[in-house]
Amino acid sequence: MLALCFVSCQQQQSIDKAIAEADNLFAIGQSSLVNHPFMRSILYYQRALDVLQSNDSVSLSFKARIFAEMGRLYAQHQLYAEAINRFQLSLTCAEQIHDSLGLMMAYKGLGESYQRQANTHEAIRYYNLANQLGIQLKDEQMQISIAIHTAAAYAEAGKTEQAIKQLPSTSYHIDEADKNVYNYVMSHLFESQRQADSAEYYYTRLIDSGIPFYQQYAINQKLQHAIRHKDYNMLPNLLNLKREIELDDELNTQYEATGAIGAIYQALNAEHENTSLQIKNQQIQFYSVIGILSLVLVIAIIVIILYRLRSEKMRMQRNQALLEKFNEVLKKDLEVERAKTSTLQPETDAKTLAIRESDIYRRLLVAEKPLNEADALAMKELIDSLYPDFKMRLTTFGVIKDHEVRMCYLIKMGFKTSRIATLLSRSDSAISNGRMRMYKKVLGKEGKGEDWDKVIQSL
């Protein structure tokens, strides 16, 4: 038991250490978003996943969070297939631990990814699932966020009326993270209603967002508007702005790749320096654990053996003393009975006669089916009424198992081996072996089944 507890503690420490290391890597990935918003963060997130090998609730919750963060990064860089894959993994982890908040975030992420792939049907389906969980959790801010994303999906599909129904009545309660999505929806709606000035206002805000997807969308819309209205003076400025955004995006990607390579190089150097030290520490720890477990196991075995020997010796001595005491009492009772007149029947014969004339004895004598609970209760009530100390003496001897107690009551009623076997649904040999086993258990020596019958009749 001590060994199992020690191993369990070691395993828990290993899990805690892995989670702490993963948490540290996750924090580094989060901080690297400032300078390297994609590839380096993905690297640290993946390393955090690598150290989480267990599937306990804490690890699964952490994995769901990491997969969701990776999905958001992939979606921001328009790698929607990868984003969907990570959100599905986040969904699987959250389902295993019944994490409603994690499920809601995964549904929302899947909806956004499918929306970017122009799969409106799947996007709205996942948004609806996320909204249902938001209602259950009473998260009004999340419900507003999901409603805005759902409106964006409807707007992209040209379903203006459905999009308007999803939008909140005022923009004051919209979270800052959802402002770009709201501006995106509003630009769609005003463009569909041919309100150029209002749409222009939201295009400008999308260009200022700094997010390539919204910037490219707004510029493309403004280019189409300029071409449609033959406003050729605007074209050079818009084309230059588009090239600048595309160039910045390309430079950022190269910078991210360089940062990721540098991070990998540093990580490899650190791992190489710590490998030999870790191996030595693990070997020392392993041999120490083996030595401690071996010592604890040997001590435990010795203690158990000594305890059992002592308990068995004390039990046998106690049973022997009780049996001698019962024999003395029985001898005195016999002497008293012999002193009575011959016209009076001994008490033992009277009790035996009461048993033989009882309904339960006659019923069991001819029964062809095993003893049922009602008959067993009637049998015990009869014997206990005639021999009030019988049950207590059996318990004192250590006869407490139900089938052994019933066997002793049937012996006390005077039934033979074959009849007892029928009533207990066992073979004759099983009944004989049981009687010999109880004799040895109580007296500590070998004996026949008939010897145990004599002990029972003497009680």
pLDDT, tens only, 210-239 = 777 777 777 887 777 777 767 667 677 777
Q: CA-CA distance, 197 to 199, in Å (whole number)?
A: 5
More confident of the two residues 66 and 244: 66
DSSP secondary structure string for all residues of 43-63: HHHHHHHHH----SHHHHHHH
Residues 6+ apart with CB under 8 A from 192: 155, 158, 160
Whole-number Å distance between alpha carbons of 47 and 268: 12
Instruction: Give the contacts of 220 (CB within 8 A, at least 6 positions apart).
Output: 242
Could you read off the pLDDT of 420-432 as tens digits, one per residue? 999 999 999 999 9
% of the chain surpassing 90 pLDDT: 7
Mean pLDDT of 4-20: 59
Q: Look at residue 334 in the predicted model and tell me its pLDDT.
A: 55
CA angle 206, 140, 210 (to 5 degrees): 15
**pLDDT at residue 271, as a whole number:** 61
275 vs 183, more confident: 183
CA separation for the pair 297, 243 (Å, rounded):
74
Residue 302 has pLDDT above 60, yes or no: yes
Task: From 133, 76, 79, select the one nearest 108 (Cα to Cα).
Answer: 133
Q: What is the pLDDT of residue 274?
A: 66
Residue 305: predicted pLDDT: 92
Query: Token digits for 4?
Result: 């199992």
**CB-based burial, 182-210: b 16+ in 10 Å, e otherwise:** bbbbbbbbbbeeeeeeebbebbebbbeee
In tens, the pLDDT along 124-150 reads 888 888 888 888 888 888 888 888 888
What is the rounded distance in angstroms from the CA atom of residue 212 to the CA atom of residue 206? Answer: 9
Mean pLDDT of 389-413: 87
pLDDT tens per residue across span 308-350: 888 878 877 777 777 677 667 656 655 655 554 433 344 557 8
Query: Cα separation of 20 and 351, whole Å?
Result: 77
Cα 1 → chain centroid: 23
- Assess whether pLDDT exceeds 70 at residue 188: yes
Query: What pLDDT digit, counting tens, does each position of 14-51 carry?
Result: 667 667 776 777 776 666 655 556 677 787 788 888 87
Q: Which of 9-23, 247-261, 284-298, 410-424 has the lowest mean pLDDT?
A: 247-261
Q: What is the mean pLDDT of the chain?
A: 78
Show Cβ contacts of residue 65 under 8 Å, excluding neighbours closer than 6 positions. 26, 90, 102
What pLDDT shows up at residue 340? 47
Look at residues 458, 453, 454 and name the one whose alpha carbon lies nearest to residue 432.
Answer: 453
Q: How many CB atoms lie within 10 A of CB 378?
A: 17
185 contacts 193 by C-beta, under 8 angstroms: no
pLDDT tens-digit series, residues 168-183:
776 666 777 777 888 8
| Position with higher pLDDT, 5 vs 459 | 459
The reported pLDDT for the residue numbered 2 is 47
Contacts of 181 (CB under 8 A, 6+ apart): 148, 149, 152
The rounded percent of the chain whose pLDDT value lies above 70 is: 78
Predicted pLDDT of residue 223: 77
For 123, the token pair is 């996007």
Rounded to whole angstroms, the Cα distance separating 25 from 41 reads 9
- The 3-state DSSP class for residue 158 equals coil
pLDDT, tens digit (0-9, with 9 covering 90-100), for 78-132? 788 888 898 889 889 888 888 888 888 888 888 888 878 888 888 888 888 888 8
Kindly report the pTM of this predicted structure. Answer: 0.47
Q: What is the pLDDT of residue 74?
A: 85
In DSSP notation, 127-152 reads HHHHHHHHHHHT-HHHHHHHHHHHHH
Asked if 350 and 358 touch (Cβ cutoff 8 Å), the reply is no
Eight-class DSSP state of 345: P
- Whether the per-residue pLDDT at 301 is higher than 90: the answer is yes
Asked if 250 contacts 258 with a C-beta cutoff of 8 angstroms, the reply is: no
